[in-house]
Amino acid sequence: MSEGANFSIVPFVSKRALGVVAGTVGAMGSFGAVILQFAFFFRSKLTYYDGITWMGVLVAGVGATTVPMIHFPMWGGMLRGPVEGAEEAGYYISEYTVEEVAAGMATASMRFAVESKSQRGRRTPVGGSQGGVSGGAQGTGSDEKMRANKV
């Protein structure tokens, strides 16, 4: 379960460096598994059952302390909400220079940003469901610019 929780955020970190991020997360997961095996079973006085139990406790503890720290400006995280005015387009386009955007190198990232925003859904204001929508799938200036550029 913890592997899925960690690996599920990989596509959202950086569209430009997706392979690097995925490779790093996968490699560190394998490296961590080897380290845990040595720590709990190599010349250890723990029984097999106790070793597996303490490995589970350690993995759950590390996951419970690190995953809540993940924060994306446009979506928020477990401990903080989204940053006011932050959008997917601005987050993903910031990885590219002006020249790269002009050359069309950011097109796939911008398509991903548009799709990410469309999947976000609608949010109701805190304090009740009366009063409509705050945030969500409303049109913004950057969306209109992307449509005009046929991204």
Please write the tens of the pLDDT for every residue from 44-59: 888 989 989 998 899 8
Q: What letter would DSSP give residue 71? A: E
Pair 24, 7: CB distance under 8 Å: no
Domain identity same for 6 and 64: yes
Domain identity same for 9 and 37: yes
What is the count of structural domains for the chain? Answer: 2
Domain identity same for 98 and 139: yes
Rounded to whole angstroms, the Cα distance separating 87 from 114 reads 10
pTM over 0.75, yes/no: no
Tokens describing residue 138: 């409303």
For residue 101, being part of any structural domain is answered with: yes
Look up the domain containing 110 and give its range.
Answer: 84-148
pLDDT tens for the chain, 151 residues long, are 456 666 778 888 888 888 898 899 888 888 988 998 888 888 888 898 998 999 889 988 988 898 888 888 888 888 988 899 888 888 888 889 999 999 999 898 888 888 888 777 665 556 554 444 444 444 444 555 445 555 4
Rounded to whole angstroms, the Cα distance separating 27 from 20 reads 10
For residue 78, being part of any structural domain is answered with: no
Work out the burial of residue 78: count CB atoms within 10 Å of its CB; fewer than 13 is exposed, 13-18 middle, 19 or more buried: exposed
Instruction: Spell out the residues 6+ positions from residue 150 whose beta carbon is closer than 8 angstroms to its own.
Output: none
Rounded to whole angstroms, the Cα distance separating 55 from 45 reads 14
Rounded to whole angstroms, the Cα distance separating 142 from 59 reads 41
Average pLDDT, the chain: 79
